[in-house]
């Protein structure tokens, strides 16, 4: 019995333990289930807690949702959009001083980002756009993945999922309050930093179907930096609209850019070159390429289009005109947009370009919505307009564009019309242009900028395509205008003489080159199965025009200005003949200025117009000057056409150009026009300023160009650096050699040639230093006078800025201002003509030394018999030369 009780006790204890263990397991299971339930409820609870934040503002949209808590911006980003790519950039919406920043201006290069969710972190990365693989080769695809990885940009910890876990919430403040998305155009040497006063703060938030934006108010400090110097231009109040747009999923078929035609390219993001790379093994080496920028233009009825019928595009290009424009400008602006439609009709599209005013009662319209392309008005004194756009870097598709029109473009157009056509057109002989002239000028400017937004670059070779004398022909100009392309800086017909009847004075509505580019860029090629087949077919259209100068493309030249036929602000195929006609007209206009602009007390207007006449004269001289050492450059394909990539001008042309320049400078006192300028404020003679400005280039840029041109020319036709310096010396010291009394211009040229020689010889003696290394090549860049005259940076032409920049050039020499403000363009090669280094082949210091010795001997021989007014000048030259040669 005792055994039975013991057994029962053990069983009872065991059962008790089993029950106890079961209860414990049940309790643990309950806790586990509770934890799982809590995990499932965690996002919901975090989201609820987040949404109960005090003062939280929420803007919901299809693309994303914004939440704002004070100065913190939270983004509720859909999970379905993770892994997709976006552009992040900004538009200037308000500004305190529009001189350096203009309402409507967009960042030229928005950030291209991919958004991913990695565990509980939202990661923004730069997709690697350098390489693609167009083949199906597995090995190459693996190589692409391993060798071209993305680069991380920013990471944001996730705050919570939304209520149904379809989106994640994260603090995106640092994404929008970010210097990387500043709307200001930054040139090298010009920096923008946070202002010294005030703190940045956010404004309105907006969300649209595929993009969203938020305003950022901030004061910014603008400074000019050069070497160890910094000039602050002060704080600027601004409001930027920071926008993010989702890139299209259904990608447009890209078209590969052809360097023989002037179309904006999209390149790979890399430090080693300017091209994307195709890893497909179709050639011995990897193929480099760039994508042509263009709108997605597809026929709404492909079969009808193939039959040659005009069809509507699936998606037209629609423009909206700012309601703040002066009302009298709007009709011309609308005509400018529609001016491009005939070019599209020639390739089978109708109603491509459409234009509307800003809608008044349409609550869905918002100029901050990136689906709208707008023409914006900036009431500031900048004499310019621009046409930036945003592009899908994966295909080159233009997604959004803007045209910014500054108020004083009208003033500049009026000045151009007067100084270039007043000799023949009585309508422009007034302070204010008549309405038909103003409308015509506005339409031309806007049509040019619309061309940029369609993908067309400047073609600076276009205006040199027509013979100069053809520009005096009524029948020729009425048919062709003054240039084959409105994408050149070809303004008005300054060649036409007072007696020429019926001559057209303006560029054409569209030139034959403009229509040719539209054909190449936008004609569908449905038979091509890939982009390489497509570029082959489109390339044949360029081959057909290879020998026709009307279709030649000339890059804009900033770092290296070698080609006299691809300059801004020129006309005709012979700069000497065109300049001679132009100067004759300027003399005629100057002699009638007081008569044509005769309002009493209107000295300021006449003074401003006179300054533009000086610029025009300087351009005529500059256009001829660049023929010395000139090289005609063409983008050519071997076997297509007879043009050569680089063809130096004949020796006789270069010598004649130098003689023409020196003859003009010795006889340019007519430009002083005392009967006109005697009523102006205190000033020095303009002839002296022009002589000094031209001499800068004759003694810096031109010797480098002559060196390069003679190096690649056939020996029998080479204009050598020795011959150039001999001719320059003979021309500059002609009065001294002949024993004549010197003019002020003679003295300026003689001092300039000696100063340049002294600097070059001194530099070669001292060797390299930190400073000379940094500034060794800037003399090949444009001078401040050239920047102004050729319109290379209109925003710099303001008294405060200009004074600072002129000080820099005075201290550091020609090209130093361009090194600050324009160097960025050269870095965009092959879009712009790059500089060619001549250090290895240069004999410039040797011939500069020879000039010093020749001058020393000449001045010694002539000093005793020199005119008394010239002796001090000669003594100074001799002293400086002898001091240098002694050391």
Decide if pLDDT at 560 tops 50: yes
Q: How far is the C-alpha of 521 from the C-alpha of 256, rounded, in Å? A: 10
| CB-based contact 316:352 (threshold 8 Å) | yes
- Per-residue pLDDT, averaged over 495-524, amounts to 96
**Confidence category of residue 36, pLDDT binned at 50, 70, 90:** very low
Q: What's the pLDDT at 189? A: 47
Whole-Å CA distances, 52 to 47, 58, 470: 9, 11, 77
**What number of other Cβ atoms are within 10 A of residue 753's Cβ?**
24
- Per-residue pLDDT, averaged over 708-727, amounts to 93
Classify residue 706 by burial, with Cβ atoms within 10 Å: 0-12, 13-18, 19+.
buried
User: How large a percentage of the chain has pLDDT more than 90?
Assistant: 55
Which range of 93-97, 147-151, 221-225, 390-394 scores highest in mean pLDDT? It is 390-394
| CB-based contact 658:652 (threshold 8 Å) | no
- Per-residue pLDDT, averaged over 579-596, amounts to 94
Q: What's the pLDDT at 395? A: 93
Q: What's the pLDDT at 815? A: 79
Decide if pLDDT at 1 tops 50: no
| CB-based contact 262:566 (threshold 8 Å) | no
Q: What's the pLDDT at 213? A: 93
Q: Output 801 or 374, whichever has higher pLDDT.
A: 374
pLDDT (tens digit, 9 = 90+) per residue, 289-309? 889 999 999 999 999 999 999
pLDDT (tens digit, 9 = 90+) per residue, 320-357? 999 999 999 999 999 999 999 999 999 999 999 999 99
DSSP letter at 256? B
Closest by CA to 646, choosing from 696, 711, 741, 582, is: 711
Q: What's the pLDDT at 20? A: 42
Distance of CA 134 to the CA centre of its chain: 31
End-to-end Cα distance, the chain:
132
State the helix-helix crossing angle for 744-766 and 844-862, rounded to 10 degrees: 130
Q: What's the pLDDT at 194? A: 60
Mean pLDDT lowest for which of 264-268, 415-419, 630-634, 694-698?
264-268
Closest by CA to 179, choosing from 297, 79, 90, is: 90
Mean pLDDT lowest for which of 181-190, 330-339, 501-510, 578-587?
181-190
Q: What's the pLDDT at 32? A: 39
**What number of other Cβ atoms are within 10 A of residue 316's Cβ?**
17
Contacts with 536 (C-beta within 8 Å, 6 or more apart), sequence order:
528
Q: Is the dihedral of CA 444, 447, 452, 457 positive or negative?
A: negative
Mean pLDDT lowest for which of 63-77, 136-150, 493-507, 684-698?
136-150
Q: Output 601 or 278, whichever has higher pLDDT.
A: 278
Q: What's the pLDDT at 195? A: 62
Mean pLDDT lowest for which of 169-173, 367-371, 772-776?
772-776
pLDDT (tens digit, 9 = 90+) per residue, 404-453? 898 888 888 899 999 999 999 999 998 888 999 999 999 999 999 999 99
pLDDT (tens digit, 9 = 90+) per residue, 238-252? 898 999 999 998 999
Decide if pLDDT at 535 tops 80: yes
Question: Could you tell me if residue 639 is left (phi over 0), alpha (psi between -120 and 50 degrees) or otherwise beta?
Answer: left
Q: Is 83 helix (H, G, I), strand (E, B) or coil?
A: coil
Task: Give 393's Cβ-side CA count (13 Å radius).
Answer: 24
Q: Output 659 or 383, whichever has higher pLDDT.
A: 659
Q: Where are the alpha helices (DSSP H) in 647-769?
A: 651-666, 674-677, 686-698, 701-712, 721-732, 734-738, 744-766
**What number of other Cβ atoms are within 10 A of residue 293's Cβ?**
27
Q: How far is the C-alpha of 817 from the C-alpha of 815, rounded, in Å? A: 6
pLDDT (tens digit, 9 = 90+) per residue, 636-687? 876 666 778 899 999 999 999 999 999 999 999 999 999 888 888 888 899 9
Q: Is the dihedral of CA 609, 612, 617, 618 positive or negative?
A: positive
Closest by CA to 179, choosing from 228, 205, 152, 216, is: 216
pLDDT (tens digit, 9 = 90+) per residue, 40-49? 445 457 888 8
Q: What is the mean pLDDT of the chain?
A: 85
- Per-residue pLDDT, averaged over 542-562, amounts to 90
Contacts with 549 (C-beta within 8 Å, 6 or more apart), sequence order:
461, 464, 465, 573
Q: How far is the C-alpha of 780 from the C-alpha of 843, rounded, in Å? A: 16
Q: What's the pLDDT at 184? A: 59
pLDDT (tens digit, 9 = 90+) per residue, 744-787? 989 999 998 888 888 777 776 655 443 444 445 577 788 888 88
SS3 per-residue string spanning 443-505: HHHHHHHHHHHCCECCCCCHHHCCCHHHHHCHHHHHHHCCCCCCCCCCCCCCCCCCCCCCCCC
Give the H or E element holding residue 584.
helix 575-596
| CB-based contact 524:299 (threshold 8 Å) | yes
Decide if pLDDT at 253 tops 80: yes
Give the H or E element holding residue 519.
helix 512-522
Q: How far is the C-alpha of 231 from the C-alpha of 801, rounded, in Å? A: 9
Q: What's the pLDDT at 488? A: 94
Q: How far is the C-alpha of 630 from the C-alpha of 713, rounded, in Å? A: 11
Q: What's the pLDDT at 29? A: 42
Q: What's the pLDDT at 827? A: 42
Which residues are bridge partners to 68 per DSSP?
A: 57, 73
Q: What's the pLDDT at 266? A: 86
Give the H or E element holding residue 438.
helix 435-453
Q: How far is the C-alpha of 676 from the C-alpha of 670, rounded, in Å? A: 11
Q: Is the bond into 180 cis (omega within 30 degrees of 0)?
A: no
| CB-based contact 698:616 (threshold 8 Å) | no
């Amino acid at each position: 019995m005792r055994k039975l009780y013991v057994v029962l006790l053990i069983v009872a204890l065991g059962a008790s333990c089993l029950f106890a263990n079961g209860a414990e397991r049940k309790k643990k299971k309950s806790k586990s289930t509770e934890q799982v339930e809590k995990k499932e409820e965690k996002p919901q609870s975090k989201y609820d807690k987040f949404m109960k934040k005090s003062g939280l503002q929420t803007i919901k949209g299809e693309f994303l949702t914004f939440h704002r808590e004070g100065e913190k911006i939270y983004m509720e980003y859909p999970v379905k959009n993770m892994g997709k790519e976006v552009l992040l950039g900004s538009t200037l919406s308000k500004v305190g001083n529009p001189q350096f920043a203009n309402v409507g201006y967009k960042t030229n290069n928005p950030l291209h980002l991919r958004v991913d969710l990695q565990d509980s972190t939202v990661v923004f990365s730069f997709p690697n756009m350098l390489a693609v693989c167009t083949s199906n080769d597995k090995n190459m695809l693996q190589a692409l993945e391993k060798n071209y990885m993305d680069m991380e940009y920013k990471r944001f910890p996730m705050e919570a999922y939304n209520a149904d876990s379809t989106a994640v919430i994260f603090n995106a403040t640092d994404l929008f309050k970010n210097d990387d998305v500043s709307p200001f155009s930054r040139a090298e040497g010009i920096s923008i930093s946070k202002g010294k006063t005030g703190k940045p703060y956010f404004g309105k938030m907006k969300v649209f179907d595929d993009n969203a934006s938020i305003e950022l108010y901030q004061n910014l400090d603008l400074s000019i930096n050069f070497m160890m110097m910094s000039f602050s231009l002060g704080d600027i109040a601004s409001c930027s609209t920071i926008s993010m747009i989702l890139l299209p999923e259904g990608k447009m078929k890209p078209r590969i850019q052809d360097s023989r035609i002037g179309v904006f390219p999209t390149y790979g993001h890399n430090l080693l070159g300017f091209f994307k790379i195709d890893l497909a093994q179709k050639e011995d080496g990897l193929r480099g390429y760039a994508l042509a920028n263009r709108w997605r233009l597809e026929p709404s009825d492909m079969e009808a289009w193939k039959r040659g019928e005009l069809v509507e595009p699936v998606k037209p290009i629609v423009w909206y005109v700012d309601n703040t424009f002066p009302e009298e400008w709007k009709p011309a602006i609308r005509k400018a947009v529609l001016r491009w439609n005939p070019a599209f009709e020639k390739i089978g599209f109708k109603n491509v370009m459409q234009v509307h005013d800003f809608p008044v009662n349409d609550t869905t319209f918002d100029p901050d919505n990136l689906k709208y392309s707008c023409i914006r008005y900036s009431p500031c004194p900048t004499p310019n307009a621009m046409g930036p756009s945003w592009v899908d870097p994966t295909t080159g598709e233009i997604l959004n564009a803007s045209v910014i029109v500054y108020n004083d473009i009208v003033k500049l157009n009026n000045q151009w019309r007067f100084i270039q056509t007043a000799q023949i057109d009585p309508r422009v002989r007034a302070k204010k242009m008549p309405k038909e002239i103003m409308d015509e000028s506005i339409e031309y400017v806007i049509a040019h900028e619309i061309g940029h937004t369609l993908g067309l670059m400047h073609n600076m070779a276009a205006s040199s395509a027509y013979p100069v004398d053809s520009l005096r022909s009524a029948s020729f100009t009425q048919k062709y205008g003054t240039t084959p392309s409105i994408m050149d800086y070809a303004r008005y017909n300054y060649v036409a003489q007072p007696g020429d009847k019926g001559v057209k004075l303006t560029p054409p509505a569209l030139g034959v080159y403009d229509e040719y580019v539209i054909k190449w860029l936008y004609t569908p090629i449905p038979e091509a199965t890939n982009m390489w087949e497509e570029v082959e077919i489109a390339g044949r259209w360029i081959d057909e025009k290879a020998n026709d100068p009307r279709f030649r493309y000339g890059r804009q030249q900033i770092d290296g200005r070698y080609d006299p036929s691809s300059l801004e602000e020129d006309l005709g195929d012979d700069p000497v003949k065109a300049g001679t006609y132009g100067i004759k007209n300027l003399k005629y206009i100057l002699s009638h200025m007081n008569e044509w602009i005769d309002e009493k007390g209107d000295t300021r207007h006449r003074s401003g117009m006179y300054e533009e006449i000086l610029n025009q004269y300087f351009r005529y001289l500059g256009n001829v000057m660049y023929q010395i050492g000139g090289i005609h450059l063409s983008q050519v394909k071997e076997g297509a056409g007879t043009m050569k990539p680089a063809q130096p001008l004949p020796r006789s042309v270069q010598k004649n150009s130098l003689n023409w320049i020196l003859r003009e400078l010795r006889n340019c006192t007519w430009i002083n026009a005392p009967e006109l300028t005697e009523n102006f404020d205190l000033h020095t003679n303009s002839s002296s300023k022009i002589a000094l400005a031209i001499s800068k280039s004759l003694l810096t840029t031109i010797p480098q160009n002559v060196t390069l041109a003679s190096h690649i020319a056939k020996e029998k036709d080479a204009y050598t650096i020795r011959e150039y310096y001999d001719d320059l010396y003979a021309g500059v010291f002609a009065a001294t050699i002949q024993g004549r009394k010197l003019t002020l211009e003679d003295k300026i040229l003689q001092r300039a040639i000696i100063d340049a020689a002294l600097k070059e010889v001194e530099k070669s003696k001292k060797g390299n230093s930190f400073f000379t290394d940094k500034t060794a090549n800037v003399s090949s860049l444009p001078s401040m006078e050239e920047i102004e005259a050729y319109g290379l940076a209109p925003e710099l032409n303001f008294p405060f800025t200009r004074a600072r920049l002129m000080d820099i050039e005075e201290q550091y020499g020609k090209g130093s201002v361009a090194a600050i403000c324009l160097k960025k363009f050269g870095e965009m090669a092959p879009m712009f003509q790059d500089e060619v280094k001549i250090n290895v082949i240069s004999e410039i210091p040797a011939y500069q030394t020879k000039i010093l010795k020749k001058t020393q001997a000449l001045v010694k021989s002539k000093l005793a018999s020199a005119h008394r007014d010239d002796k001090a000048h000669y003594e100074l030259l001799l002293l400086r030369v002898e001091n240098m040669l002694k050391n």
